[in-house]
Amino acid sequence: MADFDLVKDGARQMTICNACRYCEGYCAVFPAMELRRTFTKGDLVYLANLCFDCRACYYACQYAPPHEFAVNVPKLMSELRADTYREFTWPGMLSGLFKRNALAVSAITASSMIIILGLVLALKGSAVLLGTHVGEGAFYRVVPFVAMTVPPSLIMLYGFVVFIVGAVRFRRETRGPISDLVDGSALWRAMKDAFGLAYMKGGGAGCNYPGESFSRSRMWHHHLVFYGFLLDLAATSIAAFYHHFLDWHAPYPYLSAPVVLGTLGGIGLIVGTLGLLYLKWKSDRAPADSTMRSLDIAFLVMLFLTSSTGLALLALRETPAMGTLLVIHLGVVAGLFITAPYGKFAHVVYRYAALVRYAIEQRRIESPDHQN
Amino acid sequence: MADFKHPFDVLVAGGGNAGLCAAISARRAGARVLVLESAIKDFRGGNSRHTRDIRYMHRGATEFVTGAYEEEEFWQDLRGVTGGATNERLARLTIRDSETLGDWMAANGVRWQKPLRGTLHLARSNLFMLGGGKAMMNAYYDTAAKLGVEIDYETEVQELKVRDGEFISAVAVRGGAARAIEAKTIVVASGGFEANISWLKEYWGEAAENFIIRGTKNNQGVLLKELLKHGAKPEGDPRGCHAVALDARAPKFDGGIVTRLDSVPFGIVVNKEVKRFYDEGEDFWPKRYAIWGKLIAEQPDQIAYSIVDADALPRFMPSVFPPLEAGSIAKLASTLEIDPRALVAVVDEFNRSVRAGKYDPGSLDDCHTEGLTPPKSHWAKSIDRPPYYGYPLRPGITFTYLGVTVDEQARVIMQNDQPAKNIFAAGEMMAGNILGRGYLAGFGLTIGSVFGRIAGREAARHGGF
């Protein structure tokens, strides 16, 4: 159950915004708000996940603190989002992982690394771990192929199930009809908004991030992270295709598709995550929520570690460091994916669900037979 | 903090729209400029931070306005609302000069958006700032700082040293410490005096205690009084103020746009003695809301109550404070702390006199009362569907009209009808020259921007640039 006081304060702030409406040109939150007069918890959850934390409304707000109305929409929305992630996750008993996220992520990653290291040492011995391996199947001499593919697949499947549960719970809470899930044009419009980060543009000039002046640096760095991640996903998928269908096993040559895409993606992730971490460090704390901040930092650090250990592994794969780096890399990847459902990764699911809902609502009021 | 060792070319007193337009213009001309803003940084910008759109002359539609709004129409609109209380020369200058405002503002960082929903009647004549007035002020402060304008917050100019119409220096107070500031010229852009309750009392008596001030509490009129003391020629009705009906629960200062209430034409309004006192359906609300402030100011204890029923509630814009609600008229009266039997009688009498017609909030419809004093001329509909809702109303002051007389170069005119040598005024300080009565949406910003630019340019010129 989302914090009662938070919902109450959310309704209070949205009532003020709805009587003002000066910010409606900035993003999707305000046009969506204007279709409502009262704000239930479901409405607030929906609006919160439409918010991309661009902060333009905070700096433009005549009622922001120290005004007695104390309107601070980005902070409110961040708090509501953090609540959404906790409340809609499955199983409920793991929702505490969101609260102490940095600790949970570090502990799980470290444990994964230790387990993998322990298994390698127990099953293969330190000579294998510290040896030099070259040629086809080099990685699998340290960590067998089955061990490197089956547990990750199960972990990803598990994460997928958790997110499906979350999406269903989100839809139920925001009272969206089930037909939302198969509305092609809305899914497409939401996809365009998501891939273009339409709402990190703050109405055109960019976000008020990290500070008061407008900047697009957050958007570009986020693009680097997102597309870097997709490139790495593509690299892994192509590698899997090579392995299963062409019977061609890793390591692949430097100019092969998996390595080129993986390297580009890795560089994107490194630059993007470092950039976002730097911006976060510099950013104004007033419109921020500390829980969301720690989720952000934990996730960015994990993405950075995944990509940097991956690139280090690539660079040193023909040296005796390969075994150790492989263990470290796999440990980090395991930590990233095990904790994905219980960290910032969740934003992908709820933001997209909110954008779909928005696309449907806006189409309805833009249609000629709509009576305002 | 600014460096006071060398005299400034231009001192700008007041960091609202007019002050920043003056500072940017003067700085662009090459002058060394100091802006003194009495508010803390978060509340900088005076009443400009509560604005959202600006009226300007233009010859055709653009991405942000739907059609042309040319000089003659603009002038006729202004003449209409002021009933002739305007200086045509200055008014036409303002209108013509406003043509370049859209581009000038954009070049100084202001961003536009399509008109807000619910304000489409302004879609042709007015430009809407993305994010509203505070976003506009943020852009101006950002631009000014980049240009090298020096800005001190929490610093109030309290005294002016003036000799024979010539500004010598100013006394500015910051954190209790006073210091003299020398400058070749001064632009006074420190607004009206609407937040100075004791000054308002000179004209309104004790009633002024119950006024709500919609904008900044910093508009104390200190420099207006100072200029008048030094012999500036006053302009505008001293008693005149733009007063609207507001939710009585609004904060005393700085409530801005959200405390307005649009419920009046959808029901009846009674005073503390439970008597109706004016025709709630005389005309469309945007044309009447500004007379209701004065009407309420004339009632006992300056309070009134808007009463509507469940049928009316969804017909007007949501307001920031929820209405008081009750299952019966008598209970609603108790909640509002007025006489229940009297309210039941007033509502019964009103309902009996309603002559139902074709109800249409979008036109001056034929739903009216018969045999009722005062009548309700339009949108008269029985108040009979529970639950019933009540909003307490108070007069809300937007701005005052009294200012100083200026000429086309924004120079302050003295009692001898000669312009002061190096004293310029812009914004609410002199808006009464052009808008002596009434109001035109978005026109306060127009006057402030046009005269701010002129004052900045002329002050810089006087300073040798």
User: What pLDDT is recorded for position A174?
Assistant: 87
Q: Rounded to whole angstroms, how far apart are CA atoms B34 and A303?
A: 48
Structure tokens at A222: 């986020």
What is the percent of chain A where pLDDT is above 90?
84
A121: in domain: yes
What is the longest distance spanned by two Cα atoms in chain B?
76
Q: Which whole number is the average pLDDT over A25-54?
A: 94
Q: What is the pLDDT of residues B227-243, one digit of tens each?
A: 999 999 999 989 889 99
pLDDT of B379 > 90? The answer is yes
**Given pLDDT bands bounded at 50, 70 and 90, which one contains residue B206?**
very high
User: What pLDDT is recorded for position A204?
Assistant: 80
For helices A145-173 and A347-366, give the axis angle rounded to 10 degrees.
40
pLDDT of A368 > 70? The answer is no
Closest CA to A74 of A194, A168, A273, A212: A212
CB contact under 8 A, A66 and B113: no
Minimum Cα–Cα distance from B49: chain A residue: A62
Q: Rounded to whole angstroms, how far apart are CA atoms A224 and A272?
A: 5
User: What pLDDT is recorded for position A371?
Assistant: 44
Q: What single-letter DSSP state applies at residue B137?
A: H
A173: in domain: yes
Distance from the Cα of B258 to chain A's closest Cα (Å) equals: 5
Q: Considering its fold, how many domains does chain A have in total?
A: 1
A139: in domain: yes
A163: in domain: yes
B112 forms bridges with which residues in the sheet? B129
Contact B27, B33 (CB under 8 A): yes
pLDDT of B120 > 80? The answer is no
Contact B407, B430 (CB under 8 A): no
Q: Rounded to whole angstroms, how far apart are CA atoms B248 and B353?
A: 29
Contact B386, B328 (CB under 8 A): yes
Contact B429, B188 (CB under 8 A): yes
The angle at the Cα of A231, spanning A226 to A236, to the nearest 5 degrees, equals 125
Closest CA to B304 of B383, B240, B210, B387: B210
User: What pLDDT is recorded for position B1?
Assistant: 60
Residues in chain B: 465
**Given pLDDT bands bounded at 50, 70 and 90, which one contains residue B384?**
very high
A37: in domain: no
Contact A295, A343 (CB under 8 A): yes
The angle at the Cα of B312, spanning B309 to B314, to the nearest 5 degrees, equals 120
Q: What is the pLDDT of residues B309-322, one digit of tens each?
A: 999 998 988 788 99
Q: What is the pLDDT of residues A102-150, one digit of tens each?
A: 999 999 999 999 999 999 999 999 999 999 999 888 999 999 999 988 9
Q: Rounded to whole angstroms, how far apart are CA atoms B155 and B10?
A: 16
Mutate to test the interface with A, among B320, B321, B445 (most CBs of A within 10 A): B320
pLDDT of A98 > 80? The answer is yes
Q: What is the pLDDT of residues A285-323, one digit of tens each?
A: 999 999 999 999 999 999 999 999 999 999 999 999 999
**Enclosing domain of residue A186:** 93-366
Q: Which whole number is the average pLDDT over B220-225?
A: 97
A88: in domain: no
Q: What is the pLDDT of residues A228-260, one digit of tens each?
A: 999 999 999 999 999 999 999 889 999 999 999
What is the percent of chain B where pLDDT is above 70?
99
Q: What is the pLDDT of residues B49-94, one digit of tens each?
A: 999 999 999 999 999 999 999 999 999 999 999 999 999 999 999 9
pLDDT of A1 > 50? The answer is no
Contact B418, B163 (CB under 8 A): no
User: What pLDDT is recorded for position B326?
Assistant: 97
Structure tokens at B338: 């007025």
Half-sphere exposure in the Cβ direction for B419 (13 Å, CA) = 13
User: What pLDDT is recorded for position B113?
Assistant: 92
Distance from the Cα of B202 to chain A's closest Cα (Å) equals: 29
User: What pLDDT is recorded for position A369?
Assistant: 54
Domains along chain B with CATH numbers: 8-206+214-238+401-462 (3.50.50.60), 243-396 (3.90.700.10)
What is the percent of chain B where pLDDT is above 90?
89
CB contact under 8 A, B52 and A65: no
Q: To which residue do tokens 């409406």 refer?
A: A21
Q: What is the pLDDT of residues A326-359, one digit of tens each?
A: 999 999 999 999 999 999 999 999 999 999 999 9
Q: Find the CB nearest B318 among A37, A205, A372.
A: A37
CA distances from A45 to A12, A165, A183, B12, B89 (A): 14, 16, 21, 46, 55
**Does B318 touch chain A if contact means CB atoms closer than 8 Å?**
yes
**Does B362 touch chain A if contact means CB atoms closer than 8 Å?**
no
A223: in domain: yes
CB contact under 8 A, A203 and B111: yes
Q: Find the CB nearest B138 among A57, A59, A69.
A: A59
Contact B78, B95 (CB under 8 A): yes
Residues 6 or more apart whose Cβ sits within 8 Å of residue B231: B162, B165, B414, B415, B416
The end-to-end CA distance of chain A, in Å, is 34
Contacts of B258 in chain A (CB under 8 A): 16, 19-20, 63
Q: Rounded to whole angstroms, how far apart are CA atoms B50 and B219?
A: 14
Q: Which whole number is the average pLDDT over B134-147?
A: 97
A321: in domain: yes
Contact B254, A67 (CB under 8 A): yes
